Structure 1
Amino acid sequence: MDIPHPSALFDLTGRVALITGSGSGLGQGLAIRFSQASAKVIVHFNASRAGSQAVVERIEALGGEALALAADLTQPDEVTRLVTQAVAHFGRVDMLINNAGLYPLAGLLTMAAAEWDAVIAANLRSTFLCTQAVARQMIAQGSGGAIVNITSIEAENPAPHHSHYSAAKAGVFMLTRSAAAELGRHGIRVNAVAPGLIWREGLEQDWPDGVNRYLAAAPLGRLGMPEDVADACLFLASPAARWITGASLTVDGGVLTHQVY
């Protein structure tokens, strides 16, 4: 095989990235970062229409190409429609970043079954449906592709009131490995990124205790930024990671290095 020159490893010119949940939060940073690497970006949203359009406008202002598309990723027909619309506009899909999800709090003993189902659907079912639909499109294209799933350090380190979320993200990690095993023969790589606590506007005011505890525990002494996670995804989606599949990259400032007893 041809080995890319180092200067070309992160040049995604001509490639199309579908980034779910990119109308707000971490997804915005992912969309902008992939565009900066010259990828064309599908900015998916479910509820944040205004936010997704703002992301598209920012990407276009920077000289990139982007399209905002809506879909409920828990519904197979809507996921199929999303991929069909993306291909109709850009001609192909080369990269999928499964970022969309929910992050609510609910105690195990008081959680309603509907709350459990909603979190599993938003985080795990959506990842399955998008992976399946995009992988089928990549196989039809015949040129392989890369899928990166956003999990969490909570997939292996549970937090209070997050049993549903931790279970869903652990499931996404095993889905990542299973998909990597099945899709490798088609030239499709599937990996995961497990972020720690990522900064957002107002986080210090909303959860000062948690922020302070995280800062004290992180060897690198700061919260993560969306770009920290985006660059890890960019690496795994790029030719630089051409012989990496079924892996999970932890991006947490070193928090999981702490002794647990």
Structure 2
Amino acid sequence: MFDLTGRRALVTGAGHGIGAAIAVALAEHGADVVVHHGRSADRAAAVVERIAGLGRRVLAVGGDVTDTAEVDRFVGEATQYLGGLDILVCNAGHLVGRVAVADMSDEHFARVTDVNLTATFRTVRAALPALRASGAGRVVTMASLAAHNGGGPGAVAYSAAKAGVIGLTKGLAKELAPDRITVNALAPGYIGDTDFHATFSTPERRAATVAALPVGRGGTAAEVAAAAVYLVSAEAGFVTGATVDIDGGASPR
């Protein structure tokens, strides 16, 4: 079992779904955690309660990841509360909506890029001083199967943004390696126990997606969280610039 005792973590978009699962998993392995949320304060409070029950220090912070001042504020609050920062998981992101290119406005494309790609850049930049001071910082970004296969109908902007997250991750890994900071991406596919697919895909499309998976089932948020725990562990110190696909064999390469 990976030991994260004494490690200090901030997870963005951790009020529900994959982010919540990652926050809880980090705490289960010994980390103290700040749970960031956008508009899910009530759900974040439930995550905080669960982590507190594990005996870990925990705090919820809200903030808009598309606003630089907000990001700087909540990263600062997290760092101050924890007394430093060793782990940053940039999970916050959103499909926003399915829109065909012919119908897509500049504003929609920019919004999707902002909340997925630029927000990741902002958050890493804000956390860099604390991660450098850690001496063994870990950053995990959130890509997607869509970055590899272009996504489903109406997801061109999302797939482009998530492909950008992979490029950002590789560039950061090189730039931050001298600071002993590793940077890796997770690329989930169909994770069936989150709101994402229920919100943006019909039941028929979800069933077809699962039927086409080589493993014959959808994934779980806990399985994504397990990969995150490994990437932030001491054992993964030689792993950086990688993208870990968690997609049931949907994108063999």
TM-score (norm 2): 0.94
Q: Which whole-Å CA distance do the structure 2 matches of 1:78 and 1:19 have between them?
A: 15
Residue 233 of structure 1, aligned match among 223, 228, 231: 228
**Residue deviations 1:135-176 (CA, integer Å, cap 9, x gap):** 22212x151301011100100101220011001000000000
How do 1:147-186 residues align onto structure 2 when only pairs under 5 Å count?
147-158=139-150, 159-186=152-179
Aligned 8 A contact 1:214 1:255 in 2: no
SS in 1 for 2:45: helix
Give the match for residue 117 of structure 1. Answer: 110
For 1:154, give the aligned amino acid. A
**Contact in 1 for aligned 2:142/2:187 (Cα 8 Å):** yes
C-alpha deviation, 1:87, in angstroms: 1.7
Amino acid at match of 1:197: Y
Matched, 1:29 2:21: yes
Deviates more, 1:60-69 or 1:195-204: 195-204
Equivalent pairs: percent with the same residue?
A: 38
Q: 1:247: which partner in 2?
A: 242
Give the deviation of 1:210 after TM superposition.
2.2
Shift of the alpha carbon at 1:257? 3.1
Instruction: Report the alpha carbon displacement of residue 133 of structure 1 after superposing the two structures with TM.
Output: 1.3
What amino acid sits opposite 1:11 in the alignment?
Answer: D
**Cα distance between partner residues in 1 of 2:169 and 2:213:** 26
Give 1:211 shift: 2.1
Shift of residue 13, structure 1, vs aligned partner? 0.5
The match for 1:49 among 41, 50, 53 is 41
Structure 1 residue 65: deviation in Å? 2.2
Match 2:192 to one of 196, 199, 205: 199
Q: Provide runs of 4+ in structure 1 moved above 4 Å.
A: 201-206
Any idea what SS the aligned residue of 2:23 has?
helix
Counterpart Cα distance in 2 of 1:79 and 1:240:
30
**Selected match of 1:213 from 185, 208, 216:** 208
Q: 1:162-201: CA deviations, max 9, x gaps?
A: 0110010000000000000100000000000100011136
State the superposition RMSD in angstroms. Answer: 1.7
Asked whether the 8 Å contact 1:83–1:133 carries over to 2, the reply is: yes
- The residue type paired with residue 64 of structure 2 is D
Within the candidate set 135, 143, 152, 1:143 is matched to 135
Aligned to 1:20: 12
2:126 alignment partner, one of 128, 133, 139: 133
Unpaired segments ≥5 residues, structure 1: 1-6
The amino acid across from 2:180 in the alignment is G
Task: Give the Cα–Cα distance (whole angstroms) in 1 for the partners of residues 125 and 198 of structure 2.
Answer: 38
Identify if the C-alpha distance between structure 1 residues 122 and 60 changes in structure 2 by more than 3 Å, giving closer, same or farther.
same
Tell me by how many angstroms 1:256 deviates.
1.4
Q: What residue ranges of structure 2 are gaps of 5+ in the alignment?
A: none
Would the alpha carbon gap of residues 75 and 239 (structure 1) be closer, same or farther in structure 2, given more than 3 Å must change? same
1:63 to 30, 55, 62: 55
